[in-house]
Amino acid sequence: MITERETRDAPPHRVGLWHVGVVVSTAPQTPTGRSIVLDVPGWGGNLAGQHADVRLTAPDGYQAVRSYSIASAGETDRVELAVDRFPDGEVSPYLVDDLAVGDQVELRGPLGGWFVWTPAQTEPVQLIGGGSGIVPLMAMIRSHADSASAAPFRLLYSLRSPGDAFFRSELETPTPGLDVTWLYTRGTPAGLPRAAGRITPDDLAASAFPPSISPAVFVCGPTGFVETVANALVALGHDPHRVKTERFGGA
């Protein structure tokens, strides 16, 4: 039965071993978040949208593990994470504030076989991200570009204000085939017609691929954001089975 399952679209190998990753670089992304590139010998690559368990060990042996979405994709031992600091978190403050180039952390994965996009998919793709929910969507955007996929991609990115964007420069110069719409909830740059506010069904009707072309839809962000967006998509006529969601809370 295991063999049979491995031939489905589940992850191609069993999750098990912890790999030691070395931090290659870090980059500040937002006031509370940053990206971290790790070299993880033996990782063996991951699909766009998957996540990894990250394990920290204190000198007395105490360990803490959390899952983080991976911002990169492909058959490589390079793994890029992007982490937002939760003030009461146990692991994220360390990853955002303390981890330095050359430091080691342990990773296990890749995890998750559902919230993934592969270049074999040819249908239009609508990505909808809230805040750091952009991270797994970024992996899809990069995989789309790297594979020269002809699938049309659109991203709706909802964030507080322009300074809160992860991967801003990359998203401001998208590859052909990717269309990006920025939605601000608190502070909107001068000159934009849309007033600051949370994402609405009107935003989806105006900027997202319509249900008539049956896009694959990926929604990631805080629970309230995902709940609002997913309900609005279904109300607009999207097939619930084509709307994949991933929600996160504090860690």
Partner 1 sequence: MGIISRGFSGRSREHNPALPPGQYLTEDFPVLSAGPTPDVDTAEWEFSIRTESGAVHKWDWEQLQALPIEEVGTHIHCVTRWSKLGTSWRGVSLDTLFAEVETSNDYVMAHSYGGYTTNVPLEDLLDGKAWIAFEFDGEPLEAEHGGPARLLIPHLYFWKSAKWIRGLVMQSDDEPGFWEQNGYHLYGDPWLEQRYW
Binding-site ranges for partner 1 (CB under 8 A): 2, 5, 8, 10-11, 14-16, 18, 20, 55-67, 90, 94, 98-100, 103-106, 111-115, 223, 227, 230-231, 233-234, 240-241, 243-245, 247, 249-251
The residue among 94 and 180 lying less far from partner 1, judged by its C-beta, is 94
Q: How far is the CB of 127 from partner 1 (least distance, A)?
A: 15
The residue among 87 and 191 lying less far from partner 1, judged by its C-beta, is 87
The residue among 182 and 248 lying less far from partner 1, judged by its C-beta, is 248
- Give the separation between CA 11 and CA 27, rounded to whole angstroms: 29
What order of strands is seen across the sheet that includes strand 104-111? Answer: 63-69, 51-57, 104-111, 19-30, 33-39, 78-84
The residue among 115 and 167 lying less far from partner 1, judged by its C-beta, is 115
Q: How far is the CB of 115 from partner 1 (least distance, A)?
A: 8
What order of strands is seen across the sheet that includes strand 153-159? Answer: 178-184, 153-159, 125-130, 216-222, 243-248
Which value, in Å, is the radius of gyration of the alpha carbons in the chain?
18
Q: How far is the CB of 156 from partner 1 (least distance, A)?
A: 16
The residue among 112 and 130 lying less far from partner 1, judged by its C-beta, is 112
Measured CA to CA in angstroms, residue 80 lies from 1, 70, 73, 104, 149 at distances of 33, 6, 9, 14, 21
Q: How far is the CB of 99 from partner 1 (least distance, A)?
A: 8
Peptide bond before 87: cis, by omega within 30 degrees of 0?
A: no
